[in-house]
Structure 1
């Protein structure tokens, strides 16, 4: 028998003996209290010296028994401390070792108690026995089950525990090794919304009048020359529709109740982040059919409905001369609020470019002062929805995006929580209505990766 087993058996015997002693003390106390009440009733509540002496003896007897009770409790506490000390010793042969093992024993006890509660079998006199080996096997099988969400991933002997959960309504018995913190996978995205014009609308679309030309000029005339009619500018209109996007994840009611973290908040955050990324991508590459029209989807040109493209100077690379050409192709009016947009890997390549005096074009920003990095004096914004540098790719955008692109918000992210139509699942139906399109085509220029 191991040292741990010996100590465990000893404390078990002590606790049993102490329980028997407590029962005996309690029985004796009850008898003496009954005798005291009988004496009081018999005396008609008129105490003589003899009765008073008896009462004093009863009180002293009760006090003595309570002192014995306190000593017994102290003895039990001393034995518990002995057990914990032994369990924490490293290298105890055949027994548990270290604080982690003590934590496992406590977790196994709580695990066994939770199963009893779930089955309705936990009574005041129920003995709870925590089996560390069974608990460890369950904890080991829990993670594959959660990833696969299939009973095939959980041994049959544990499936009942997975399904009965920690209360009669069901759920999961989450092992102590499952943290309430989730390590999140990071998805890179773009923030054109921060640079563009954003308008909130009350209908299904936004109409923006557009001046598409200029008035004609009749020339210089003499004092008596009769003027002739001149042409007027043409007006157009840009329409931006609020398109609808949705997501409907489903979660069991049991998992919402019993998981070791706030599943409902986690679902809401994940849906919000996902919709944000999908929206951001659409602002660059959306087709305009049931979704926003993307900045990169227009043809090359200088007329309305086209965006001018400046060649990069290399078949699969960007040259420093091309960046100068891109900047100076934009009208001065728009350069006052102009920004560069490019992917992180494109930024890496651009940082290596130098001018004719071997000076880097890239200028590091002042992080503490909130100043961004710049190229040729213009801020650089990383947008992961911009293409990588490749043949014929539009890898760099430059312009006044507040003038060039407009985003419309009809409805923010709304949630319909439905726990009735797909029982035992709860449906989280999320909707969002948003649109976006280019409204000023001369306010932005694109760089196309091409040698000529």
Structure 2
């Protein structure tokens, strides 16, 4: 099977998107012709075809590591092979994943910032014999090095569109954090006469809190063969699994979390902006999008993070909407995430894809608009990874891994910076 050049596919997609951007910009208003529309439709079809091809090949590459767990040693396994250049932190982590505490020097333990129980400390002094315990993960729990923590956070962004626009920060502890808030959008000053007193105009403050919750990757079982294969990128594989599992659940909670026993998601916290007319349970109109945009105060409609967010299925619907002159309101992006590039745009606003957003259905809050950076994601700078070498795994020829970290999120706003479009009940 020939090697797939994903870079070339992305470049073709970008080139097509730039051509469509130019087509829309050069043919404003009533200059839009049926020929322009055909060129737009053909270009969008080409972008969709290339995008699907990119997704298929990315899925193929991602499946290599999973296949390797079942003993796949085909030529494509080389897609998940290490290629040197690792840091001391990464090397220490790899040693721990492959061989446990007994493989670590004191310097390695410092690099990984060990934080262990007395039982684990005993295992570190006297070697791996305690690893056979069936009740204690005797090979230890570690607070993983900053470098690996940062790699995990970057990888998690692929699973949650909300992380592309939210404000993210880390704290050293998990204590509840309070944010004072005040809605002064209706407050106004006055004119006073000479020597006349100013009127009272006290403002009111509220408090918004943010808690963090402990998330687990669920346990991961890795065969001895992969741990013993020095060419297999075991830390990369574990990193990918952690990002996928923790990334998916936290992205879901940051988007639609109830706020009870879990983070309060941005959809849950947003205010109502526009409800569709009867019969629009699976649609939205051009006028609805304009009304949604203008339901947010102009004070909040500035900045790079202001835009729309919706599920990919909803984007498929809005791509078919045209303005009063028959021009499509959707403009495809190119070189996303790179300097000089542009995201997908809707009504000349940035458009974020979030697969955790509700799809259009009766009463669904399917589209968000506003200053999405007002959503805060907080992480405790503490990713703890346990290596379990007890009989539950050893009898199957495996070593177990599980990771925990703590995260929280909330929309820190009381003035309506983010609002939603809701499909009607019927």
TM (norm. structure 2) is: 0.56
The one of 297, 305, 310 equivalent to 1:342 is: 310
- Cα deviation digits, residues 80-130 of structure 1 (max 9, x gap): xxxxxxxxxxxxxxxxxxxxxxxxxxxxxxxxxxxxxxxxxxxxxxxxxxx
Where in structure 2 are the equivalents of 1:99-110 lying within 5 Å? none
Q: Does 1:360 align with 2:328?
A: yes
Where in structure 2 are the equivalents of 1:109-128 lying within 5 Å? none
8 A Cα contact 1:364 1:374, kept in partner: yes
Distance 1:212 1:223, change over 3 A: same
The corresponding residue for 2:292 is 326
**1-structure distance, mates of 2:193, 2:297:** 35
Deviation at 1:277, TM superposition (A): 1.6
**2-structure distance, mates of 1:334, 1:216:** 16
Deviation at 1:451, TM superposition (A): 8.0
The one of 180, 184, 191 equivalent to 2:161 is: 191
The corresponding residue for 2:276 is 312
Distance 1:446 1:176, change over 3 A: closer
Q: Report the 3-state secondary structure (helix = DSSP H, G, I; strand = E; otherwise coil) of the residue aligned with 2:249.
A: helix
Deviation at 1:324, TM superposition (A): 0.8
**1-structure distance, mates of 2:411, 2:321:** 30
Deviation at 1:350, TM superposition (A): 0.5
The one of 410, 416, 419 equivalent to 1:445 is: 419
The one of 415, 418, 426 equivalent to 2:399 is: 426
- Cα deviation digits, residues 397-428 of structure 1 (max 9, x gap): 111111x2111111353312232575515331
Q: Where do 5+ consecutive residues of structure 2 fail to align?
A: 1-65, 81-156
8 A Cα contact 2:281 2:360, kept in partner: no
8 A Cα contact 2:253 2:262, kept in partner: yes
**2-structure distance, mates of 1:339, 1:355:** 18
**1-structure distance, mates of 2:167, 2:158:** 22
**1-structure distance, mates of 2:194, 2:362:** 61
Q: Report the 3-state secondary structure (helix = DSSP H, G, I; strand = E; otherwise coil) of the residue aligned with 1:292.
A: coil
Alignment root-mean-square deviation, CA: 3.4
The corresponding residue for 1:282 is 253
The corresponding residue for 1:246 is 216
Distance 1:312 1:268, change over 3 A: same
How many residues are aligned here?
Answer: 271
8 A Cα contact 2:362 2:425, kept in partner: no
Distance 1:221 1:316, change over 3 A: same
Deviation at 1:354, TM superposition (A): 1.1
8 A Cα contact 1:215 1:233, kept in partner: no
8 A Cα contact 1:346 1:388, kept in partner: yes
8 A Cα contact 1:218 1:230, kept in partner: no
The corresponding residue for 1:13 is none
Larger radius of gyration: 1
Q: Identify the structure with bigger relative contact order (alpha carbons < 8 Å, sequence gap 6+).
A: 2
- Cα deviation digits, residues 267-297 of structure 1 (max 9, x gap): 3321222211211111111122332111122
- Cα deviation digits, residues 247-276 of structure 1 (max 9, x gap): 242436634445694556423321222211
8 A Cα contact 2:274 2:422, kept in partner: yes
Q: Where do 5+ consecutive residues of structure 1 fail to align?
A: 1-145, 150-171, 299-305
The corresponding residue for 2:77 is 180
The corresponding residue for 2:350 is 379
